[in-house]
Amino acid sequence: MSKFMTVMMHTYRSKIKSKPFLITTLITIGLLFVITNMNEITKMFGEDEASKIGVIDRTGDTLPALQTQLKQTSDDLKAEAFTKSESEAEKAVLDGKIEGILILDRDDSGIISGTYKAEDVTQQSLIADVELALQQIKNKSAAESIGLNQEQLAAIYSPVSFAKESLSDSAKSEEEAAQVYILVYVVLFFMYMAVMMYGSMIAVEVATEKSSRVMEILISSVSPVTQMFGKIFGIVLLALTQLALFVAGGFLAVKLNGQLSGSESIINELKLNEIPTSLIIYALVFFILGFFLYSTLFAMLGSLISRVEEVNNLMTPVVIVIVAAFMIAMFGRENPESGFVAAASYFPLFTPMLMLLRVGMLSLPVWEVALGISVLVGAIFLFAIIGARVYRGGVLMYGNAPSLKLFKQALLLSKQEKKNTTDI
Amino acid sequence: MLTINEVRKQFGSFTAVDGINLQIPRGEIFGLLGANGAGKTTTFRMILGLLTPSQGRITWNDKEISYETSDLIGYLPEERGLYPKLTVREQLIYLGQLRGMTRSQIQEQTDKWLKRFGAEEYLNKKVEALSKGNQQKIQFIAAVLHRPELLILDEPFSGLDPVNVELLKSAVHELKKEGTTIVFSSHRMEHVEELCQHLCIMHRGKSVVQGNLKEIKRSFGKKNVSVKADFDLTYLKDTAGVIKHRTTGDGIILQVEREEVAKDLFQAIQSKGFVRKFELEEPSLNDIFIEKVGVVHE
């Protein structure tokens, strides 16, 4: 087994057995099951009880219309006539026999009005349903009173036909854009998670080896470059393992959801299966390249510090960069054609997210995507070269909080040590 | 044969090692002495290829030392360090593999060494649970596990109790017998005197004394005269040829310029009373060290 493989497998094995890894993986898969089966879970708690409201109908003839109207809009809300006095109705509400009490009135000009009383008025959706039903009844009676028939009424309320068509070839339909945005969002989210989790993992790993001083033995056996890349690949392997577990877990969860509800699975609802394969491939490519870029950055930064506690100081600026990418992506969703987004998408630390967004939202010419990928690959190489140098110098330096000065020192120290940097 | 030829190492404007020349034959134990900051660790790091000399060349059997040759070299750093969270076994497997060993080779050597150091019960313990002395034993095992041709020990005995020092010394002797070339640094002069045939005293990056231990002592010229008697001996310090003196519990140790001075001293005390001890001694390495480096060193 080559030394590169030894370092990679050692990193992979020791991390995959670690408790934090197992716990996060299990929790995330658990969450996936909960989210995909949310509708089933809520049904489990709330299906049996249809809400009942009592109606004191002072108009005399509105209740039947209300009941018909409610039947159409919501199947778990029933209106029943309440024949006793208002105070008794209020008591029934407080006792929990009915959800609320609706008092219907008609003023002198024949307009219907309603007052809804409940223990608290926080059940927004129920109240909205009732209000909507009442509104429609009012509209109908008002229309009838001025002599409009059903068809005329329908004509008034029918929505305007409004179609959008893009003339440019590069534009995509609105539906496509929405799907892309979901994908970009997922990649962005994973990116953020991955950088937070694995980035700090790499930095901590390097810092631990430095602070426990085992580093000196390590670099006397293996070149720092081999070591750095062995570590990065080990962590990438770990990340891919976790991602595979998530995908498998997610797939099972969706499958289970399909079996439970017996109809529309969440995939169909989000139309995820209609996302073009090419875009999924792009997403994977950008994710993996982006991950490499940030990992190299973290390995480099990790070699600059001498204590594990200092890792957090390093995380902050990187997290800010990712959050900035996130913000630009938000903005880019509304204005994918904007020059600012286009320019930002060539900044290597933003490329994985923003170029993906642009690929998805616009039909970019191939050269632009290729350029984006080249920029990314170039940046990875650049970071790797600088990282390897800093790493070489950095691992032998102790003391001092990380700073630009330290960075320069490490570079200087390793500049004189070029001899062995070539053998990975 | 380890050859260090006109090696200089500069960090910016600071010269850590300044023109060192050493030739260490196979199967030799070589001592590198020096105060803190003398350049010992920098020299070691250059031998290991961790640092590249600013000037000069270091070769092992006429080959440049690089990561190609790292499987032939064993290293016990001054700053001890192992993975605190790994067990002794996991640790040795990883470090052994990094030196190009197979698992079964590692297993065999680990068993052998743990047995030798009476530390078999620690095989599956985490390193952080071990005492400092035991951690050092494990660290030593990690350095010799792959049977290196060249073994570099930076302060191997510091922080060990006398029993463990003896244990380690006998291991070093045995490795030497098997043909391992050993370079080690120490603060403790008696260890160097006991183990080395050849040595080098470094001071501020330069080699101040270098060569065969006996020859160094002989060529030093100055000798010690140790006297114990029933009467006061302090007046001896004024004898011509006495450089300095040190009183002990019941006697005096005088450093003399030449052997002849001892004769004068002997005559001076002959008639004064009963002399319990009169001995002409070789200078100790400590005397030479202090003389050359000019500081009292512990």
DSSP letters spanning A194-208? HIIIIIHHHHHHHHH
Q: What is the pLDDT of residue A296?
A: 85
Sequence length of chain A is 424
Contacts of A7 in chain B (CB under 8 A): 98
CA angle, residues B178, B182, B186, in degrees to nearest 5: 140
Nearest CA in chain A to B11: A413
CA distance A209 to A199: 16
Asked whether residue B208 falls in the same domain as residue B114, the answer is yes
Of A10, A14, A213, the CB nearest to B77: A213
Same domain, B162 and B248: no
- B86 lies in the same domain as B204: yes
Predicted pLDDT of residue A401 = 45
CATH number of the domain residue B241 falls in: 3.30.70
- The answer to whether the Cβ–Cβ distance between A220 and B12 falls below 8 Å is no
Amino acid A126: pLDDT: 79
Question: Which letter, b or e, does each residue of A141-178 get, where b requires 16 or more Cβ atoms within 10 Å of its Cβ?
Answer: bebeeeebeeeeeeeeeeeeeeeeeeeeeebbeeebee
Average pLDDT over residues A160-179: 67
Is residue A124 pLDDT above 90, yes or no? no
For testing contact with chain A, the best of B45, B58, B94 (most A CBs within 10 A): B94
Is the distance from CB of B37 to CB of B76 less than 8 angstroms? no
On whether both B171 and B234 belong to a single domain, the answer is no
* Prediction pTM value: 0.72
Same domain, B258 and B177: no
Is B100 in Cβ contact with A423 (below 8 Å)?
Answer: no
The interface pTM score, or ipTM, of the predicted complex is 0.76
Side-chain half-sphere CA neighbours of A264 within 13 A: 7
- Strands of B251-256's sheet, edge to edge? B242-247, B251-256, B223-229, B275-281
pLDDT of A166 strictly over 70: no
Contacts of B66 in chain A (CB under 8 A): 419-420, 423
Distance of residue B49 Cα from the nearest chain A Cα, in angstroms: 7
pLDDT tens, residue by residue, B46-63: 888 888 888 888 888 888
CATH number of the A51-157 domain: 3.40.190.10
- Nearest residue of B to residue A226, measured between CA atoms: B67
> Which residue pairs from A174-180 have beta carbons closer than 8 angstroms and sit at least 24 positions apart in sequence?
A175/A271, A176/A360, A177/A336, A177/A360, A177/A361, A179/A270, A179/A271, A179/A272, A179/A274, A179/A275, A180/A275, A180/A279, A180/A357, A180/A360, A180/A361
Residue with tokens 């609802």: A269
β-sheet with B198-203: strand ranges across: B73-76, B150-154, B181-185, B29-34, B198-203, B206-212
Q: Which residue has the higher pLDDT, B180 or A122?
A: B180
H-helix or E-strand containing B219? helix B213-220
With CA atoms as reference, the chain A residue closest to B51 would be A417
What tokens appear for A131 in the block? Answer: 């209000």
CB contact under 8 A, B66 and A423: yes
> Can you give the pLDDT at residue A400?
47
Distance CA A357, CA A330 (A): 10
- DSSP label at residue B284: P
Q: Tens of pLDDT along A239-297?
A: 888 888 888 888 888 777 766 665 555 555 555 566 677 778 888 888 888 888 888 88
Interface touch A7/B98, C-beta < 8 Å: yes
CB contact under 8 A, A214 and B54: no
A99 three-state secondary structure: coil
Mutate to test the interface with B, among A3, A214, A228, A229 (most CBs of B within 10 A): A214
User: Could B52 and A218 be called an inter-chain contact, meaning their C-beta atoms sit closer than 8 Å?
Assistant: no
Question: Does any domain span residue B234?
Answer: yes
Dihedral pair phi/psi, residue B58, rounded to 5° = -125, 130
A7 touches B at CB < 8 Å: yes
pLDDT score, position B89: 92
Q: Are B26 and B178 in contact (CB under 8 A)?
A: no
Instruction: From chain B, pick out residues whose CB is under 8 angstroms from the CB of A221.
Output: 70-71, 95, 98-99
**A345: which DSSP letter?**
T
C-beta neighbour count of A296 within 10 angstroms: 25
Q: Which is more confident, B80 or B117?
A: B117
DSSP letter at A420 equals G
A5 reaches B (C-beta below 8 A): no
pLDDT at A206 over 90: no
> Residue B181 pLDDT > 90, yes or no?
yes
Q: How far is A244 from chain B (nearest CA, A)?
A: 27
A196-224: average pLDDT: 82
A55 forms beta bridges with A81, A102
Neighboring chain A residues of B96 at a CB cutoff of 8 Å: none
Q: Does A6 touch chain B (CB under 8 A)?
A: yes
Using the Cβ of B17 and the Cβ atoms of chain A, whether some distance falls under 8 Å is answered with no
**Chain-chain contact of B52 with A213 (C-beta, under 8 angstroms):** no
Record: contact B82-A214, CB cut-off 8 A: yes
> Is the residue at B176 inside a domain?
yes
Label residue B51 exposed, middle or buried (CB < 10 Å: 0-12, 13-18, 19+). Answer: buried
pLDDT of residue B258: 81
Pick from B84, B86, B97: which is nearest to A6 by CB? B97
Residues 74-103 of B with CB under 8 A from A: 75, 77, 79-84, 86, 90, 94-95, 97-100
Q: How many domains does chain B have?
A: 2
pLDDT > 90? residue B182 = yes
Contact A417 B51 (CB under 8 A): yes
In a domain, B87, yes or no: yes
Residue B298, min C-alpha distance to chain A (Å)? 25
- B86/A217 Cβ within 8 A: no
Asked if B156 and B237 sit in the same domain, the reply is no
B241 vs A: CB within 8 A: no
Q: Of all residues in chain B, what percent carry a pLDDT higher than 90?
A: 18
pLDDT score recorded for residue A65: 81
* 8 Å CB contact of B67 and A420: yes
**Which tops the pLDDT comparison, A393 or A128?**
A128
Q: Give the structural domain span for B116.
A: 2-217
When CB atoms are compared, the residue of B67, B142, B143 closest to A222 is: B67
Identify which has the larger pLDDT, B74 or A356. B74
Residue B30 domain flag? yes
CB proximity A418 to B under 8 Å: yes
Return the domain boundaries, chain A.
Answer: 3-33+173-420, 51-157
CB-based contact A351:A321 (threshold 8 Å): no
Specify if B296 maps to a domain.
no
Tokens, residue B116:
């030798």
CB within 8 Å: A216 and B84: no
Yes or no, beta carbons of B95 and A419 under 8 Å apart: no
In a domain, B106, yes or no: yes
Residues A16-72: tens digit of each pLDDT: 888 888 998 899 888 888 887 777 777 777 655 667 888 888 887 788 888 888 777
Shared domain check, B80 and B95: yes
B207 and B226 assigned to the same domain: no
Closest residue in B to A7 (Cα) is: B98
CATH, residue B206? 3.40.50.300
The pLDDT tens digits of the residues spanning A184-195 come to 777 777 777 787
Question: Tell me, what's the pLDDT at B144?
Answer: 92
Nearest by CB: A220 against B12, B54, B75: B75
End-to-end CA distance of chain B: 31
Residue B141 φ then ψ, to 5°: -60, -45
Residue count (chain B):
298
Query: Do both B103 and B138 map to the same domain?
Result: yes
What's the whole-number mean pLDDT along residues A117-131? Answer: 79
Total beta-carbon pairs less than 8 A apart between chain A and chain B: 77
> Which residues on chain B are in Cβ contact (under 8 Å) with A422?
none
* CB contact burial B148-167 (16+ within 10 A = b; e otherwise): bbbbbbbbbbeebeeebbeb
Same structural domain for residues B81 and B21? yes
- In the prediction, which pLDDT does B272 show? 79
pLDDT value, residue A76: 73
Both B162 and B267 in a single domain?
Answer: no
Q: What is the DSSP letter of B50?
A: S
Neighbours of B281 (CB within 10 A): 13
Interchain proximity A423–B67, CB inside 8 Å: yes
Domain check: are B12 and B155 in the same one? yes
> Mean pLDDT of all residues in chain B?
85
Query: Going by DSSP bridges, is the β-strand pair B181-185/B150-154 parallel, antiparallel, or unpaired?
Result: parallel
Asked whether the beta carbons of residue A420 and residue B52 sit closer than 8 angstroms, the reply is yes
As given in the structure block, the two tokens for residue B275 are: 């002399």
User: Are the beta carbons of A221 and B142 separated by less than 8 Å?
Assistant: no
Q: Are A238 and A16 in contact (CB under 8 A)?
A: yes
**Residue B297: inside a domain:** no
pLDDT at A167: 64
Q: Residue B80 region, left (φ>0) first, then alpha (ψ -120 to 50), else beta?
A: beta
Residue type, B44: F
Tens digit of each residue's pLDDT (9 = 90 or more) over A299-357: 888 877 777 788 888 778 888 888 888 888 888 777 777 888 888 888 988 888 888 88
